[in-house]
Chains A and B, each alone.
Chain A
Amino acid sequence: MERLKTVGVERFVILAILLAGAIFLLVGCLTSTQFATFTVQGVATGMAYGALALALVLIYQATHVINFAQGELAMFTTFVAWQLIQWGLPYWGAFFVTLAIAFLLGMGLQVAVIRPVQHRSVIATVIVTVGLFILIDGVVDWVWGGEFKSLPQPFGNGSWNVGGVEIQHLYVGMTGVVLASLAFVWALFRFTKLGLAMRAAALRPAAASLAGVRVDAMLAIGWGLAALLGAVAGLMAEPTTGIFLLPTFMQQVLVYAFAAAALGGLESPIGAIVGGVAIGVLQALMIGYTPQISSQLQLPFAFALILAILVVKPNGLFGRRQVARV
C-alpha cells in the first residue's frame, strides 16, 4: 500500500524559500521603481514560460514523454493567427479561433503520429516529437517564408503609472490572459467529469479503463489542451520578442519552458507555473542589473542552477519522490 505524505518537511522548506523570495521581490518593488519595472516584466514573461511549461507537464504526466515540438507548435499556431488577421479577423477573434485550431491540431497530431508509437517505445515517441519539430519548421518556412511579418499589439503600447512605476499594459494583459487560461484548465481538471477522467487516465491507465474511461481518447484531449496552452504562450510571448514575427521566436521560450518544468518538477502543474515565473523574474533582474554578463550567459546560468537543483532534488522542486515498487 502506498502511503503518500500530504505535506512533508521538504515541501515546507521549499514553500518557505518561495515565500522568502516573494517577500524579497515585494520589498524590492516597494523600494525601487527600477526593481519593480523589472519584476513586472519578469512576471509577465515568466507567465508565458509557465504556460508552455504547463503544456509540457500535461503531456509528460499523461505519456511520460517530453514533447520537443511544443514550442514549434506554438509558433505554428501564432502564424496561423497572423494569417487569420490577414484574412480580416480582428485580433481577439483570431485569438480564439486560433485556440480552437490549436486544440484540434494537438488532438490530430496525437492520433496520427503519437498514438502508434506511444505504447511501444519511449525513445521512438521522443524522436517523433523531434521529427515534428523539424517538420513544422519546414512547413512554416514553406507557407510563410519570405518577407518579414508582424502581429498587431494585443494590448497596445500604453502603460499605467503606479506610484512612479511604469507598468505596461502589455505585461498586465499577458499575465491576465495566461492566468485566465490556467484557471480554465484548472477548473476543467478539478470540477468536470472529463477532467477527472483525464487525471485518472494519466495516473493509472489500466484502472481507468476498468472504470470505462477510454484512455486513448483522454490522451488525445490532453494533447489538444497542451497545444491550446502552447498557442496562448506563443501569442502572449510574441510581442516581447521584437518587432517582427520570426519563425525562431519560440525556440528560446521552449528552452526556458524546459528549465521551468525541470525546476518545478515535470509532474507538477503548479511547479511549472512557479518555475516559469521564477525564471522570468530572474532573467529580467539579471538583464536589468548585470548587463555586463553577456546576454548569452543567462541561459547557461539558468541551467547550471537547475542542474544544481536537480542534483539535490532529482524530481524538481515540487516533484514527488518516486517510490519504486519492487
Chain B
Amino acid sequence: MKRSIPALVSVVAVAGVLVLLPFIISDYNTFLVGEVGIYFIAVLGLNILTGYTGQISIGHGAFMAIGGYTLAILSRDHQMNLVYGTLIAFALCFAAGLAFGLLALRLSGAYLALATFALAISVTQLPLQYSTYLGGSLGVQASSKTDHLFGWSLFGVHIPRWSLPGPAVLTNKWIFGVAWSFAAVLLVLAWLILRGRVGRAFRAVRDSEIAAVASGVERGLYKTLAFGISAAYCGAAGAIFVMANNGFAQPDEFNVALSLTLLIGAAVAGLGSLWGVLVGAAFVGLLPNISTSIPHLGGHQDVIYGAAVIVVMLVAPSGFAGLLARLRLLRRA
C-alpha cells in the first residue's frame, strides 16, 4: 500500500492548512479545531480496533480518562511537563489496554461491547470512590507550573527547560499546536504499524476469524494488541484533553457519552482509511458545536446532531472509507 504522490501532496496540503488556521480563524474556532485534533487521535486509535479488527468498543472513553488523570496527577504531584506526561499516559494506557484485551479475549461481538461499556462505567466512578487521591467529583487539577514543553526535575536529575513564550494559562493556539503535533506524530506511527505485517494480521482478524486461525495468525495476540494500541492512543488523547480543559481531569468529562462519541467518529471514518479518521473527527468535533451557532435552532442541537448521525449512516454505512472505495470503483469503470 504505497502512498502515491497525489496522496502525499494532499497530506502536505492539509498540514499546510492546519499550520495557517490558527492565524486566520477566531480564537474560539481555533479551540474547536484543536479539539478535532484530540478526537483525531482518539478516533485513530479506536479505528485501529474497530475498523481493522472489527471489535466494537463503547468504552474507550475509559482509556481517555485513565490518560487524562495520569497526566493531571503526574503534573500535580511531580510537576511533570506535558509532553512527558502524555508519553507516560500513552504507555500506561497501552498496558491497560493489553490487560483489558487479555481479559476480554473470549468475548466477542455484543458481549465484548457490553464488557467495554462496563469498563467505561466503572472507571469513571473510581474517582468518586477514591476521592482523596483522585479528587472526587471535582477532579484533579494539573499544576499551573507545567505549561512548558520539556524540562523536568525528578530524583535530583535536572533536565534543562525549553519554554514556549506565553502566559501561564494554556491558550487556544497552544492547545491547537500541541494537539495537532501529537496527532501528526501518532498518525505517522499508525501508518507505519498498519502498512506492515501487523496491519495485515489485523485485517485478517476482521475479515474472517476462522480463516485467520487457520492461516496461523495468532488471533488472540493481535486482538489484544489492537486493544493495547487503541487504548494508548485514547490515553494520549485524554491527556491532551485534560490540558485543553484548563488542566482539569473530572469524572463528568469522561462519561459514557464520550465513548459513544468516539464510536460515532470511528463509524463515520469507516474501515481502513486514514483520511476517514479526519472526517470522523471533524464530524464529532465540529457538528455538535456548529448547530449551536445557528440562531433559529438554538438549543436543539441534539435533534440536528442525532438526525445527522442517522442520515450519515444511512447514506454511508461503511463510513467515509466506504465512500472513498465506491468512488475509486466508479473511477475505474
Contact = CB atoms under 8 A, between A and B. Distances in A.
Interface stretch (A18-26, A216-224, A299-307): A299-307
A141 B302 contact: yes
Contacts of B263: 126-127, 130
Contacts of B302: 134-135, 137-138, 141
A128 B303 contact: no
Contacts of A121: 317-318
Nearest to A293: B129
A262 B106 CA distance: 14
A128 B110 contact: no
A121 B303 CA distance: 24
B230 interface: no
A66 B119 CA distance: 17
Interface in B5-40: none
Given A133-B306, A294-B128, A297-B125, A123 B118 contact: no
Contact of A299 (B114, B121, B310): B121
A316 to B, nearest CB: 7
B198 interface: no
Given A66-B110, A307-B103, A314-B107, A294 B301 contact: no
Contacts of B260: 68, 130, 133
B314 A113 contact: yes
A266 B210 contact: no
B303 A135 contact: yes
B73 to A, nearest CB: 20
A134 B309 contact: yes
A137 B301 CA distance: 10
A310 B111 contact: yes
Contacts of B313: 117, 124-125, 127-128, 131
Interface in A237-296: 255, 258-259, 261-262, 266, 294, 296
Interface residues of B, number: 43
Contacts of A113: 310, 314
B111 A316 contact: yes
B41 to A, nearest CB: 20
B300 A141 contact: yes
A254 to B, nearest CB: 10
A266 B50 contact: no
Contacts of B210: 324, 326
For the complex of A and B, list the 4 residue pairs with the smallest distance between their C-beta atoms, beginning with the closest.
A135-B306, A138-B302, A131-B309, A134-B306
25 contacts: A64-B109, A66-B114, A68-B260, A113-B314, A123-B50, A123-B267, A124-B317, A126-B56, A128-B309, A130-B264, A131-B308, A131-B313, A135-B305, A137-B306, A139-B303, A141-B299, A142-B300, A266-B111, A296-B125, A296-B129, A303-B122, A307-B118, A314-B108, A324-B210, A326-B210
Interface of B: 50, 56, 103-104, 106-111, 113-115, 117-119, 121-122, 125-126, 128-129, 210, 260, 263-264, 267, 299-310, 313-314, 317-318
Given A131-B308, A300-B118, A307-B103, 11 more contacts: A120-B318, A123-B50, A126-B56, A128-B313, A128-B314, A135-B302, A135-B305, A138-B303, A141-B300, A258-B114, A296-B128
